[in-house]
Amino acid sequence: DSGVTQTPKHLITATGQRVTLRCSPRSGDLSVYWYQQSLDQGLQFLIQYYNGEERAKGNILERFSAQQFPDLHSELNLSSLELGDSALYFCASSLHPRSSTDTQYFGPGTRLTVL
């Protein structure tokens, strides 16, 4: 158990809908990362937050957004869902970026199925 929690574990929804994925980082970790794992794209970085502020963006679609709250948990919002958004979404957390020993620890993921 990495200490990173993600809810829900599974999510099944229809095209055009909106969903929210939630992540709680390990106790003390300030940075949260979101990754998408799909069969055709592999593991791709979406977005990073550090202490409530957006720090870096990857290939995140405009239909997707995220935020990190004062208690450091994070939510990833996916809207106008398409079939191709079906994937495993991982959250990871780390103590703080650029520490010489900084390491990302991953949650169990949320499997999103868009029908």
Partner 1 sequence: AQSVTQPDIHITVSEGASLELRCNYSYGATPYLFWYVQSPGQGLQLLLKYFSGDTLVQGIKGFEAEFKRSQSSFNLRKPSVHWSDAAEYFCAVVPQSNFGNEKLTFGTGTRLTIIP
Task: Give the start-end residues of each E strand in 1-115.
Answer: 5-7, 10-13, 19-24, 31-38, 42-50, 53-57, 64-68, 74-78, 87-94, 105-106, 110-114
95 binds partner 1 (CB under 8 A): no
**72-91 residues near partner 1, rule: CB under 8 A:** 90
Shorter beta-carbon distance to partner 1: residue 68 or 104: 104
25 binds partner 1 (CB under 8 A): no
Shortest spacing between CB 16 and partner 1, in angstroms: 28
Query: For 26, which DSSP code?
Result: P
Shortest spacing between CB 50 and partner 1, in angstroms: 9
24 binds partner 1 (CB under 8 A): no
Pick from 11, 32, 33, 112: which binds partner 1 (CB under 8 A)?
Answer: 33
| Residues in CB range of 11: below 8 A, 6 or more apart | 19, 21, 110, 111, 112, 113
End-to-end CA distance of the chain: 31
107 binds partner 1 (CB under 8 A): yes
52 binds partner 1 (CB under 8 A): no
